[in-house]
């Protein structure tokens, strides 16, 4: 069993991950509206990944005998000043999520909850990648700022495909 404090914190993280999916869908819609279908595709894949993150927490709670409790998902922002502004917001959001994961890890360590520490380690590693990929797009956008390089970045981001996580073996 996990502690009530840990259970509540994990349930709150499900909400954070589902909000992330919602935010990236809003960003995808923003990019669709700007005829940047590559950026829209990248955001859609990102949203699908976020749903798998939420599901990982969901499955873990069930596995530990806890009760999943879903809360309302807040309304995401829908407009940004520019593609660079939206990607900067995505990068900032990933830094926020890294902070959430770190606080969960601190809690697991303080409770000597080794199973949660092991589960959260995956997310610690994942967040390094999440921040790096948003930051990489942001750096490219800064380089081409105002130029027609945006078209090439859009074409590159259009190649991202969602790969569902491998099914868990029992
Ligand atoms: Fe689930 Fe993008 O962190």
Q: Is residue 163 part of a domain?
A: no
Q: Is residue 11 part of a domain?
A: yes
Q: Which is nearest to 130 in space by CA: 50, 30, 12, 75?
A: 50
Q: Which atom of ligand 1 lies closest to the CA of 126?
A: 3
From ligand 1's centre to the CA of 71, what distance in Å? 18
Q: What is the pLDDT of residues 98-134, one digit of tens each?
A: 999 999 999 999 999 999 999 999 999 999 999 999 9
Q: 44 CB less than 6 Å from ligand 1? A: no
Q: Is residue 164 part of a domain?
A: no
Q: 154 CB less than 6 Å from ligand 1? A: no
Q: Is residue 117 part of a domain?
A: yes
Q: Is the pLDDT of residue 37 over 60?
A: yes
φ, ψ of residue 62 to 5 degrees: the values are: -60, -45
Query: CA torsion sign, 13 to 99 to 153 to 83?
Result: positive
Q: Is residue 128 part of a domain?
A: yes
From ligand 1's centre to the CA of 147, what distance in Å? 30
CATH number for 20:
1.20.1260.10
d(CA 101, CA 121): 9
Q: Is the pLDDT of residue 169 over 60?
A: no
Q: 20 CB less than 6 Å from ligand 1? A: yes
Count of domains forming the chain: 1
Here the tokens at position 168 are: 């868990």
Q: What pTM does this model have?
A: 0.95
Q: 131 CB less than 6 Å from ligand 1? A: no
Q: What is the pLDDT of residues 76-105, one digit of tens each?
A: 999 999 999 999 999 999 999 999 999 999
Q: Is residue 91 part of a domain?
A: yes
Query: Mean pLDDT throughout 140-156?
Result: 88
Q: Is residue 57 part of a domain?
A: yes
Q: Which is nearest to 91 in space by CA: 158, 42, 163, 36?
A: 42
Predicted confidence band of residue 168 (pLDDT cuts 50, 70, 90): low
Q: 130 CB less than 6 Å from ligand 1? A: yes
Q: Is the pLDDT of residue 1 over 90?
A: no
Report the chain's mean pLDDT, rounded to a whole number: 95
Q: What angle do CA 43, 167, 72 make, to 5 degrees?
A: 50
| Residue range of the domain that includes 151 | 4-72+80-157
| pLDDT at site 146 | 66
């Amino acid at each position: 069993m996990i502690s009530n404090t840990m259970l509540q914190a994990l349930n709150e993280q499900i909400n954070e991950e589902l909000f992330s999916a919602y935010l990236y869908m809003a960003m995808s819609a923003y990019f669709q509206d700007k005829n940047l279908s590559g950026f829209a595709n990248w955001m859609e894949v990102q949203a699908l990944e976020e749903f798998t993150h939420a599901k990982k927490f969901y499955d873990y709670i069930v596995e530990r005998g806890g009760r999943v409790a879903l809360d309302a998902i807040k309304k995401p922002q829908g407009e940004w000043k520019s593609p660079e502004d939206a990607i900067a917001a995505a990068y900032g959001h990933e830094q926020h999520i890294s902070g959430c994961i770190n606080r969960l890890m601190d809690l697991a360590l303080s409770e000597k909850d080794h199973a949660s520490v092991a589960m959260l380690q995956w997310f610690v590693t994942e967040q390094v990648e999440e921040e790096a990929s948003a930051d990489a797009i942001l750096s490219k956008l800064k380089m081409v700022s105002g130029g027609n390089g945006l078209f090439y970045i859009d074409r590159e981001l259009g190649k991202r495909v969602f790969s569902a996580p491998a099914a868990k073996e029992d």
